[in-house]
Amino acid sequence: MDEKVEEMFTPDFTNAPAITVTAVARYLISEIADADQRSRQAFKSYNDRRLSDDGQVFEVGFMKHGDFGIYRGKVVPTQKQETFFKEDHYICWSAVDCRDCLIRLSYCQCLGG
Residues of the chain scoring pLDDT < 50: 44-49
Instruction: Write down the pLDDT at residue 22.
Output: 74
pLDDT digits over 26-44, tens only?
777 676 655 555 555 555 4
What CA–CA distance (Å, rounded) separates 50 from 57?
A: 9
Instruction: Write down the pLDDT at residue 49.
Output: 43
What CA–CA distance (Å, rounded) separates 67 from 77?
A: 32
What CA–CA distance (Å, rounded) separates 90 from 110?
A: 6
Instruction: Write down the pLDDT at residue 45.
Output: 47
Note whether 94 and 102 are within 8 A (CB).
Answer: no
Closest Cα partner for 66 from 14, 20, 1, 17? 17
What CA–CA distance (Å, rounded) separates 90 from 97?
A: 24
> For the chain, which residues make up each domain, given as ranges?
3-108
- For the chain, what's the residue count? 113
Instruction: Write down the pLDDT at residue 44.
Output: 46
What CA–CA distance (Å, rounded) separates 63 from 9?
A: 5
State pTM to two decimals: 0.71
